[in-house]
């Protein structure tokens, strides 16, 4: 049995700040083939789908499709704000390596 991904309070707070729920949107986290390390994350605001896992907090939603779910087992979805920029980040224990930007990974 795979553990579902976790979403930090900071990530939910950022979604509330940008008004995702007011737009009827959720943060979609998907895994696609490609990128410099083999797989890449696709992170965007989107409508929840029928087969999505929905993670809720602070009135906000994060969704993961059933195909991406095994790649994100036990992962943590967070929001990072640094001098170089702000972005949603994924700490994935399944990734054996990742690129410098953190968007691409291999297993």
Indicate whether 37 belongs to any domain: yes
Give the per-residue pLDDT at 85.
86
Mean pLDDT, rounded, for 40-64: 94
Q: CATH code at 82? A: 2.60.300.12
Confidence of residue 99 (pLDDT cuts 50, 70, 90): low
Q: Torsion over CA of 22, 88, 90 and 21, rounded to 10 degrees?
A: 0
Q: How confident is residue 17, by pLDDT bands cut at 50, 70 and 90?
A: very high
Domain count, the chain: 1
Give domain status of residue 14, yes or no. yes
Residue 1 counted as domain residue? no
Other CB atoms within 10 Å distance of the CB of residue 56: 13
Domain hosting residue 35, numbered range: 6-106
């Amino acid at each position: 049995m795979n553990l579902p991904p976790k979403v930090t309070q900071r990530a939910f707070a950022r979604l509330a700040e940008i008004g995702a729920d007011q737009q009827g949107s959720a943060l979609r986290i998907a895994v696609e083939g490609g990128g410099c390390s083999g797989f890449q994350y696709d992170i965007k605001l989107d409508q929840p789908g029928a087969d999505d896992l929905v993670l809720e907090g602070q009135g906000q939603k994060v969704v993961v499709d059933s195909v991406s779910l095994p790649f994100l087992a036990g992962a943590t979805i967070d929001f990072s704000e640094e001098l170089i920029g702000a972005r949603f980040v994924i700490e994935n224990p399944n990734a054996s390596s990742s690129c410098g930007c953190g968007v691409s990974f291999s297993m």
